[in-house]
Chains A and B, each alone.
Chain A
């Protein structure tokens, strides 16, 4: 058993002069749940495509399960499960047939495909929709079907590119629950997301990616400890006043971040900061004390929010 199932070293992908991925290095251990966190255009999907052996790297080293994906594309892909950013389910086939046909692409026998399809439909809570048309499924159901499909070949690594983007909160929670079960069973998960809560829920360890490069690496908790404070106070004074008030808040807490719509004060004691703000005679329209999140880490590292 190798110590890591994915090893990337100075991995680079250039399109003409533009470096979509610019020399990133990371390792993923077996059974680990690893996240790539970053805004749109950060190079997450390009990285995923290279790991998924559907895109060849420009330079650097990449090893998936001990194999070079440039050389052994089909063999690497046979051991991966892929959930692309946009569902590409087969609209001409019914739900269960989608799974069976996909298994056949891996050269699995019909009997095995049928058996796996039924088990996975149950796992994806779609057993009662086995004969439905794909078009008739809701967004969350399509996503679950895509995940079920990606598990047909018993992948050793599951690649999820923004698994819950565009889903409503309830559908997201169902999906997270399913993914968490896979994680518990020891499936290695690699996922990209620009949702903080998703990364916090699912990732043992993550890298923050921006402009094709890694900005920070660690567990969600460690990243928050390292780059943020325990709590954050969010105060709003109205869009036109935030900047003016910022001067008067200066010095309160560990650090102040002025955003167009709100001011963030980083501190280990949020209530004390709020008390100090009102002692100075400032009256925010709204105020909120919350725990630090990965969003704050990202803001600190890149100076902007994740979702723009």
Chain B
């Protein structure tokens, strides 16, 4: 005979939040984060590591190899820096983007469509904003870990030209936050794996053309405008300013760009999760 499961009339702490967030947020994202950390035990560390090494391979092949031929490059602020030091911050921004996007798109898509994870979560006292914030934080964490590792590699290779390089870490977290929230928002609207390919379709050219490997000045004005609208360029410029020490006022604009991206992403994600699971 088994014991009765009711141990004591315990009532869990209840959210009595009111106002517009009352039905959206229970202030318990940490439960979602805790779940994610526990679940990483079952993920393949090979995949995680590959995301870390990808930008390092680029840095070694292009920065060191190609850099020997290219020599020095002039940044958007007019500073002349070695080629490897020019592309390294860009690759740092890219690694943050990749980590955040991988977690917030493929992983989220799977959890939403197949594992029915969010359906289960939203049947509890969690609100959609708890889920969105928790999942985005996890994506951000992965982006942050990649970035910290890459920054160390840069330091070892002597590619951090100023003390402000340390600020690249929070900057990269901001960038990752932006990509993760927008990525999750977009993913929540997608219905099939085919549509997921669109994300790759946008990310690859963005990676190649966002002043990653050469200054934006090589482009005609029209293309330049397109690049400047897309998010990665803002990330690249922000991080490059910090690691090369060429601080400028437009960097505040880049920060603002990501703040807006975060707000827009979170708004749409929350709204969409609510529509999908709490309609």
Contacts and interface: CB of A to CB of B under 8 A. Distances in A.
A122 B3 contact: yes
Interface in A173-214: 181-182, 185
Interface stretch (A77-85, A217-225, A269-277, A285-293): A77-85
A102 interface: yes
Interface stretch (A29-37, A67-75, A257-265, A295-303): A67-75
Given A74-B15, A122-B3, A90 B125 contact: no
B49 to A, nearest CB: 19
A151 B117 contact: no
Given A54-B277, A122-B2, A84 B7 contact: no
B278 A73 contact: yes
B279 interface: yes
Nearest to A150: B123
Contacts of B220: none
A282 interface: no
B5 A107 contact: no
Contacts of B26: 74, 107
A204 B113 CA distance: 37
Interface residues of A, number: 46
Nearest to A88: B116
Interface in B102-148: 115-117, 119-127
A197 B115 CA distance: 31
Contact of A88 (B32, B34, B115): B115
B38 interface: yes
Contact of A74 (B39, B43, B125): B125
A84 B31 CA distance: 21
Contacts of B117: 88, 90
Contacts of A80: 123
A239 B11 CA distance: 58
A165 interface: no
Contacts of B14: 74-75, 78, 107
A43 B147 CA distance: 50
Given A101-B34, A122-B2, A123-B5, A107 B125 contact: yes
Nearest to B42: A92
A23 B124 CA distance: 27
A107 B13 contact: yes
B124 A108 contact: no
Contact of B38 (A91, A93, A125): A93
Contacts of B16: 75
B7 A116 contact: yes
A154 B34 contact: no
Nearest to A181: B4
A71 B23 contact: yes
B8 to A, nearest CB: 8
A40 B9 CA distance: 36
Contact of B35 (A93, A120, A153): A93
A115 interface: yes
Contacts of B9: 154
Counting chain B residues whose Cβ lies within 8 A of the other chain, the interface size class is: 35 or more
B12 interface: yes
B119 A84 contact: yes
Interface in B1-54: 2-7, 9-17, 22-23, 26, 28, 31-32, 34-35, 38-39, 42-43
B15 A107 contact: yes
A307 B122 CA distance: 30
B14 to A, nearest CB: 5
Contacts of A108: 10, 12-13
Nearest to A186: B6
Interface in A93-107: 93, 97, 101-107
Contact of B23 (A74, A93, A112, A122): A74
A298 B32 CA distance: 44
Contacts of A72: 22-23
Nearest to A106: B12
Contact of A107 (B28, B43, B120): B28
Contacts of B5: 116, 119-120, 122-123, 148, 151, 182
A176 B129 CA distance: 37
A153 B15 CA distance: 14
B31 A101 contact: yes
B115 A91 contact: yes
B125 to A, nearest CB: 4
A56 interface: yes
A52 interface: yes
A84 B13 CA distance: 24
A236 B113 CA distance: 46
Given A73-B127, A75-B16, A78-B124, 9 more contacts: A72-B23, A77-B123, A78-B15, A80-B123, A88-B120, A105-B126, A107-B31, A116-B5, A122-B2
Interface of B: 2-7, 9-17, 22-23, 26, 28, 31-32, 34-35, 38-39, 42-43, 115-117, 119-127, 277-279
12 contacts: A54-B277, A73-B23, A74-B15, A75-B16, A75-B125, A84-B120, A88-B120, A90-B35, A101-B35, A102-B120, A104-B35, A123-B3
Interface of A: 52-56, 71-75, 77-78, 80, 82, 84, 86, 88-93, 97, 101-108, 112, 115-116, 119-120, 122-123, 125, 148, 151, 153-154, 181-182, 185
